[in-house]
Amino acid sequence: MNTFKIITIISLLLLFSCKPHGYEYNEGSLPDIPVNLESFNSEYDDYNSTAPTLGWLIPFCFSTNRNSSGNDFDIIYRPMDVSFSKTTGVLDVTNGYGGWGIYQETYTALINGLRKMNTSGNEFGPYLLFNQNGNFSDFNFLFLYATDVSGNFQINYTYNTEISEFSDNEPIAFLNSEFNDLYPAFNTDFSKIYFCSDRENDKFDIFSVDINSSGNKLIDKLADPDVHEVNKNLVISSNFDDKCPYIFDDKLIFASNRPGGFGGYDLYYSVLESGEWTEPVNFGAEINTEFDEYRPILFDEGVDYNKHMMVFSSNRTGGKGGFDLYFVGVKH
Tens of pLDDT, residue by residue over 136-154, are: 888 999 999 999 999 999 9
**Rounded mean pLDDT, 176-187:** 98
Q: Are 126 and 141 in contact (CB under 8 A)?
A: no
Count of domains forming the chain: 1
Here the CATH number for the domain that contains residue 116 is 2.115.10.20
The mean predicted confidence, pLDDT, of the chain is: 90
Question: Does residue 74 fall inside a structural domain?
Answer: yes
Higher pLDDT, 272 or 4: 272
Residue 97 lies in a domain: yes
Extended strands (E) in 51-167: 57-64, 74-84, 91-95, 123-130, 141-147, 154-160
Mean pLDDT of 124-134: 90
| Domain membership flag for residue 156 | yes
Mean pLDDT of the region 176-185: 98
Q: Is 18 a member of any domain? A: no
Residue 235 has pLDDT above 50, yes or no: yes
Does residue 1 lie within any of the structural domains?
no
Phi-psi region of 69 (alpha: psi -120 to 50; beta: other; left: phi over 0): left
**Could you list the residue range(s) of the whole structural domain that residue 96 is in?**
30-331
Distance CA(81)–CA(86), nearest Å, equals 16
Least confident span in 125-129, 159-163, 213-217: 213-217
How far is residue 285's CA from residue 277's CA, in Å, rounded to a whole number? 23
pTM of the shown model: 0.91
Reading phi first (left if > 0) and then psi (alpha if -120 to 50, else beta), residue 24 is in alpha
Determine the pLDDT at residue 27: 78
Spatial separation of the C-alpha atoms in residues 282 and 276, rounded to whole Å: 18
**Does a structural domain hold residue 116?**
yes
Q: Which residues contact 206 (CB under 8 A, 6 or more apart)?
A: 194, 195, 196, 232, 233, 236, 237, 242, 243, 245, 254
94 falls within a domain: yes
Residue 23 domain flag: no
**Separation of alpha carbons 91 and 260, rounded Å:** 33
What confidence score (pLDDT) does residue 1 get? Answer: 53
Say if CB 261 and CB 284 are below 8 A apart: no
